[in-house]
Amino acid sequence: MPRPSAPSFHIALPRAPEIPTDEQHTALEKAASRNGNGGEASRRAAIGRLDPTSLRLFIAVAEEGTVAAAAKREHLVGTAVSRRIARLEDALHAQLMSRTNKGLQPTPAGEVLIKLARKVLMDLDDLYVQMHEYSSGIRGHVKLAANISAMTEFLPAEIKSFLARHPHIQIDLEECNSTGVARAVAENAAHIGILTMGAVHRFAFETYPYHTHELVVVVPNGHPLASRASVSFEETLPYEYVGLPNGSAIGLQLLQAAAEIGRPLKLRIQVTSYDSLCRMVEAGLGIGVVPRSAAELYVDGQRVCAISLDERWASRELRICVRSAEALPVAARLLVEHLRQPIQE
């Protein structure tokens, strides 16, 4: 009964560097001995001869039982296969094959090598597959910095859909104000940034449209402005404000608009999120300005009133920024393309 063939493992790796000849290895070993490190150098020289092709050919001979059959399977001439097996035996200082009436059979040392060689070849195959996945963007690590508007309004759903397509890409997401986002991208602390456009004027970036959103004034129920459909910013200045952190794009815009009017912005308290701001407004601690979508939960629950802000700057543009799209890792380029889809469509 013919001996059943074990599965073979073929890997599509780039061509390996040419293996040094036996004469070159011998010269290296002699030189190492002269330098007083013969054992270590000999081991390294032997390891250098354990290339994937030789291991694959050794497995083929063990499975086929003859050099001729292994050579035919691997599309080589028999002498080339024999030479590879001889080099393996010389490198490992062990007889790996013995001739029997059934053909070539692995020795006990050869049986051990078969198991180890199959594992090595499978590991190399996995290495190739995983590295190929990185190069095609299937795997990777992307650092994304975004302002609070992008974080609360758009990114949760968009990142969810992106990771559903690319589950092996890891995203490190950092929330910053728009100035911090610009700095993170400029200093290579983030691959991609999402910010309000006015924050990038000091930096040389490539930018792409992301989303626009509308700023509204939120006031408590029963406030003098609550019945208004829209107000100018100047009409809000007599009232105390719940503000966002220093350096936030909205906060800077309000300070600039107040300065242009020539009146102060009365900040009673500052908070770090839209949710906190709406809660403070609901509690009667002042009025505030947030994107309309951030106020919707509180408006729908009749906890605050949202009033349109009759100012040109109340419609804000968010943009994606990168230092150089061409220099981005593939995974980061995929994320940029995904984030731009709503605009492109």
Count the Cβ atoms, other than its own, within 10 Å of residue 208. Answer: 18
User: 85 and 61 in contact (C-beta within 8 Å)?
Assistant: yes
Domain count, the chain: 2
Q: Is the pLDDT of residue 320 over 60?
A: yes
Percentage of the chain lying above the pLDDT 70 cut: 81
Single-letter amino acid code for the residue at 273:
S
Give the best-scoring range by mean pLDDT among 13-17, 147-151, 196-200, 307-311: 307-311
Q: Largest Cα–Cα distance of the chain, in whole Å?
A: 104
Last residue of a domain, one of 107, 134, 161: 134
Residue 204: the pLDDT is: 73
Q: Looking at 45-49, 114-118, 171-175, 288-292, which range is the least confident one?
A: 45-49
* Mean pLDDT score across all residues of the chain: 84
Contact, 104 vs 67, CB < 8 A?
yes
Q: Which residue has the higher pLDDT, 2 or 210?
A: 210
Cα separation values, 193 from 26, 145, 207, 320, Å: 56, 5, 9, 6
Task: List the beta bridge partners of residue 75.
Answer: none
For residue 87, the enclosing domain spans 22-134
**63 pLDDT more than 50:** yes
The CATH code of the domain that includes 184 is 3.40.190.290
Which pLDDT band holds residue 39 (cuts at 50, 70, 90)? low
Q: Per-residue confidence at 18, pLDDT binned at 50, 70, 90? A: very low
pTM equals 0.61
The verdict on 176 and 63 lying in the same domain is no
pLDDT at res. 198: 64
Evaluate whether residue 295 is within a structural domain.
yes
Q: Is 213 among the domain residues?
A: yes
Domain co-membership, 301 together with 161: yes
pLDDT of residue 223: 95
- Domain shared by 118 and 227, yes or no: no
Domain assignment present for 46: yes
Together in a domain, 128 and 157: no
281-312 pLDDT per residue, tens: 999 999 999 999 888 888 887 889 999 999 99
Same domain, 119 and 59: yes
